A = this chain, B = another copy of it.
Amino acid sequence: MSVAVENFIKAIYKNNLNSINNTKPGSIAKHLGISNAAATDMAKKLADKDLLNYEKYKPLQLTAKGEKIALNIIRKHRLWEAFLFKTFDMSLHDIHREAELLEHETSNFLAEKISAYLGHPKFDPHGDPIPNSDGEITTTDISISLEKAIENKTYTIARLMSDDKDFFDFCAQNSLKYGNTIEVVKQFSNTKMTQIKINNNTILLNQDFTKIIYVNEIN
């Protein structure tokens, strides 16, 4: 399994999580920085190997076999993120960049070692769930995006869905870290801004941020 194939499968998996199964070669091409033609080519080749279902002009869908491979790569990615974050205290941006490379050269054997070392964590430092070695995500995600949070309620940060360095730098500077507690002070419906309070500091976030910060309500 080449890096190109692994990244292609992973891209389809991730895209289908967001775009409700309307993944065309073009969107994968854009994401991977290759031409549409190359993406179509690859899709056909992977269909031959029974890793995805391909019909001309139709959305791409991973087979069970393809999905298992996607989840195995994502598992390795997130285990590396958790490990690098804990061990070397690297930033969320840095761990993502390194994991993007390491994930393709990590044996199942080593992945298990990392997982065991960390106590088989269920989430990475972004709050994303880590599939188990069978490719299962057991934890049900009940988090909501901050834009949908309710005024005067208290939440914990569940996920930071981004890989943008500037975003992570901002988060790090303002204690916006996986697991931390925040209070939603006010939702400004006109401007789509959200005012939150964290560690006695008040922060006003615009929708670019509230869409990618996910939180869990504290009961």
Contacts and interface: CB of A to CB of B under 8 A. Distances in A.
Contacts of A41: none
Contacts of A110: 84, 88, 98
B104 A105 contact: yes
Nearest to A100: B105
A90 interface: yes
A140 interface: no
Tell me which of A87, A105, A106 has the highest count of chain B C-beta atoms within 10 A of its own C-beta.
A105
Contacts of A109: 94, 98
Interface in A90-119: 90, 94, 97-98, 101-102, 104-107, 109-110, 113-114, 117
Contacts of A117: 87-88
A18 to B, nearest CB: 27
A12 B117 CA distance: 36
Nearest to A87: B117
Nearest to A113: B88
A71 to B, nearest CB: 20
B105 A101 contact: yes
Interface in A153-206: none
Nearest to A94: B109
